[in-house]
Amino acid sequence: MNKSKVEKIFGKFAKCRILVVGDLMLDRYLWGSVSRISPEAPVPVVEINKEEHLLGGAANVAKNIAALGGKVKLAGVIGKDIFGKNLKSLLIKNGFSVDGIFADGKRPTTVKTRIIAHNQQIVRADREKTAAISNQLNHKIMNEINRLLPKTAAVIISDYGKGVVNYDLLKGIIAACNEEGVFVAVDPKETHFFNYRYVSTITPNHHEASFVAGKKITDEESLAEVGWRLLEQLEARSILITRGEKGMALFENDPKAKSGRRLTKIPAMARKVFDVTGAGDTVIAAMTLAAAAGASLQEAAFIANVAAGEVVAEVGTAQVSGERLLELVLERLGEAAF
């Protein structure tokens, strides 16, 4: 990868439309300070001085793509509640269409409430329902996908295990994407892992990969064993295992390689790590957008790794702009051994 290729990839971001399907969430942050312990229980009393609502889950994936300069469409479910209204308003405020967002009165909007004092998370409270959405909602989402797919460069399935991504919907999405030749990427949940067959790429972290493979990744040998085993079982084009401070490992089925497959290890790019919240969203957003813009999977993974290294230096879910990421990738280009 050279400077010219990188600039060509980034130059195509604005022409790429990515469809994000999955679990939409509202990230609610309550900021405050602690000066005393509660007399009711041995817990700190947090005096709240600021409340902030941010896009979370699949909505944060979409926000990452938009920040990089790509075009985004969303498909997902919210509840008929105040948090659903807040989430919908926030999506509109951020410039997203809500045509593919469907409300369900039988389930709450997924909300993660984090209480933070002195830049330290004290507790997180979740409001959710994880049962699969109804067949009726599956049909609505699938109809929206089929409507958008002809003008879509890639599809991201963002699975947080909150009910939107289920077997029937997955089967329909993956089949439709493969039939149309559309790149399809999955940010997985362990419980659904072996339903993500025939995808273009899947991005588990090393804990998720270890769990589903039934073998803990402890060294380079076990990493290779887990990666190749999962790639074979999923019959996927590639699997990108994120490894925290150890970087990433990309396993590919590649007919151009001598053995028909290829392993690329990419070192971590983070200069400092402050908060890993939402880093997986950044990885799949950057990798998918880069692949849609003409990058090889190796190049797309390298770009995603640089992007993740930037956002973990921020508190909460953060995004990196296309301009900033281009600058960072060009700075680190010498570290791309391909």
Which CATH number belongs to the domain containing residue 216 in this structure?
3.40.1190.20
Domain membership of residue 147 (yes or no) is yes
**What would the mean pLDDT of 233-242 be, rounded to a whole number?**
95
Domain membership of residue 105 (yes or no) is yes
Residues 6+ apart with CB under 8 A from 43: 37
Domain membership of residue 31 (yes or no) is no
Domain membership of residue 94 (yes or no) is yes
How confident is residue 5, by pLDDT bands cut at 50, 70 and 90? very high
Under 8 Å between Cβ of 159 and 188: yes
What is the bridge-based pairing of β-strands 261-266 and 120-127?
Answer: unpaired
Domain membership of residue 275 (yes or no) is yes
pLDDT at 267: 86
Domain membership of residue 222 (yes or no) is yes
Q: Is 126 a catalytic residue?
A: no
Residues 6+ apart with CB under 8 A from 214: none
Cα–Cα distance measured from residue 104 to residue 84, given in angstroms and rounded to the nearest whole number: 10
Cα–Cα distance measured from residue 314 to residue 326, given in angstroms and rounded to the nearest whole number: 19
End-to-end CA distance of the chain: 6
Catalytically annotated residue among 104, 159, 187, 281: 281
CA-CA distances (angstroms) from residue 175 to 108, 184, 237, 264?
29, 10, 14, 28
Q: What is the pTM of this model?
A: 0.92
pLDDT in tens, 183-200: 999 999 988 999 999 999
Under 8 Å between Cβ of 36 and 64: no
How confident is residue 89, by pLDDT bands cut at 50, 70 and 90? very high
Domain membership of residue 221 (yes or no) is yes
pLDDT in tens, 251-296: 998 777 777 889 999 987 655 544 445 588 999 999 999 999 999 9
The number of folded domains in the chain is: 1
Domain membership of residue 145 (yes or no) is yes
The residue segments making up the domain with residue 136 are 3-25+57-110+130-335
